[in-house]
Structure 1
Amino acid sequence: MNSNPDIHFEMQDTVAVVRLTRPTKRNALNDKLIASLRHIFENLPATAKAAVIAGDGDHFCAGLDLSDLQERDAGQGMHHSRSWHHALERVQYGPVPVVAALHGAVVGGGLELASACHIRVADESAFYALPEGTRGIFVGGGGSVRIPRLIGVARMTDMMLTGRVYNAADGERVGLAQYLEPKGTSFAKAMELAKRIGNNAPLTNYALINVLPRIAEQPADQGFITESMISAIAQSAPEAKQRVRDFLEGRAAKVQQA
């Protein structure tokens, strides 16, 4: 599956666990690591029902490895950025939902990677920043598309103009994470959620990660017709029919307040 020592892949039951393993570099990203990430998500085993992305050591990911930064002309820079786009699209629009387990630095390219995941679980040590603006560069891994959809254009602009850093609590409040857990427990919570997600009907999961984001970008009339079609497809699956029968016949758990 992968021969890069800076990233580790394993299956834990039906959950694909992907770990960044450069703790001495705060799991900073380079092109080789991004290519390995793309390869992993393009070749997930058929048994995978969900995935978790995490980082070894004290940090999730401190962004781009600046030692990997090269002088490029405009064309080379564009193609380099697009290679990151293609890799992170495999995470966002792949076959299974992806949960990010965040702790420590979630900075620059690390925040771009986290924003490509479907659920973000942070612990109390997490902090978020986009230092590219103060370093004279711009995000290039899809952050200008994904991050404003989480927190709005104004907040991202503030982060890049001023170098503002959000702590874990404020990050969860503005939408950078959906869950905030005690320090050291984000991976355990991410695994719990991934296992729960993996029990959903596969076609429903696929619709949620591949169709719902596109519906959200469509005009209302187009969104409604897209919704009607994917709704019909999802409910026609044999597994969906069985789940509805289980609910109607009292075999399915009722929704309860947490």
Structure 2
Amino acid sequence: MSDSESDKDIVLYDLDGEVAVITLNRPEKRNAVSDRVIKALAAAVDRAQEEAKAAVICGNGKHFCAGLDLAEHVKRSPIEGVHHSRSWHAVFDRIEAGKIPFFSALHGAVVGGGLELAAATHIRVADATTFFALPEGTRGIFVGGGASVRVGRLCGVARMTDMMLTGRTVSAEQGEHWNLCQYVVGEGEAKAFAIDLARKAAQNAEMSNYSIIHALPRVGDMSRADGLFLESFVASMAASSPEAEERLNAFLNKSAARLSHPGK
């Protein structure tokens, strides 16, 4: 870490109404994730859970995040490497399984640990400059920030294996096809688009959002019968909240907005 870097905020935090915007701010290093970045990101994530109803993670400069800071990684002993990996897991778990939904606005490199961070968010918006990669195989290392669990489930083990063995890069359009992102927008438009989506999610009932981000991943890990059983209990709990009753009555009274065809 340089002296100049130590004097600035490497993770920025802004509360925009009910949406927290968390920005990786290490553009000269392509927002590579150092130990200090992980600690700052953890603090920002915890703050967002307390202050906001939804959050967006983005990056300053030309890239979202080029992954692990390799300069730090080569100096670790095996046990230090385990603890380092687990520290990433702890932060990314708080994103994926916290109180509020997280969105990521992606551009440029979403590589290695950058893809692991993006995969921990619930909705990923990529602009046209985005490319995804897992180059760990070519670097003589292995993923350590949760990719073997999250990325493999998003795009499939065969595709993840291809990315790691060959160093293949994947465009934003291909990434959408592979489920690495859910939206592809024009260059420079991802942040505003993600914030708009986060604002919409922030208007949902708190119990609904919590159920969506916690129940759906668990149902995916269960047998069919167990998943349906859990669904019944979560549906009952969500529907019994005062906010659900108010919203359902608004729909029945035709005072709530109706859905329309996306092309109209």
Provide, for residues 86-137 of structure 1, a one-character-per-residue CA deviation record: whole Å limited to 9, x for no partner. 0110111111101100000000000000000000000000001001011110
Partners of 1:60 and 1:116 lie apart in 2 by 14
Q: Is the 8 A contact 1:51 1:98 kept in 2?
A: yes
**Pair 1:110-2:114 in alignment:** yes
Q: Which residue pairs with 2:129 in the alignment?
A: 125
1:71-110 alignment runs, 5 A limit: 71-110=75-114
Percent of aligned pairs with the same amino acid: 50
How far is the alpha carbon of 1:79 from its aligned partner?
1.7
Q: Is the 8 A contact 2:162 2:168 kept in 1?
A: yes
Structure 2 gaps, min length 5: 1-6
The TM-score with structure 1 as length reference comes to 0.96
Match 2:204 to one of 185, 200, 207: 200
Q: Which residue pairs with 2:67 in the alignment?
A: 63
RMSD after superposition: 1.3
Partners of 1:173 and 1:241 lie apart in 2 by 37
1:135-174 alignment runs, 5 A limit: 135-174=139-178
Q: Counterpart amino acid of 1:65?
A: D
Q: Is the 8 A contact 1:51 1:99 kept in 2?
A: yes
Q: Which residue pairs with 1:11 in the alignment?
A: 15
Q: Is the 8 A contact 2:101 2:209 kept in 1?
A: yes
Structure 1 gaps, min length 5: none
Partners of 1:71 and 1:13 lie apart in 2 by 42
Partners of 1:119 and 1:44 lie apart in 2 by 16
Match 2:253 to one of 241, 249, 255: 249
Helix, strand or coil at the partner of 2:118: helix
Helix, strand or coil at the partner of 1:81: helix
Count of aligned positions = 256
How far is the alpha carbon of 1:68 from its aligned partner?
1.6
How far is the alpha carbon of 1:70 from its aligned partner?
3.4
Helix, strand or coil at the partner of 1:58: coil
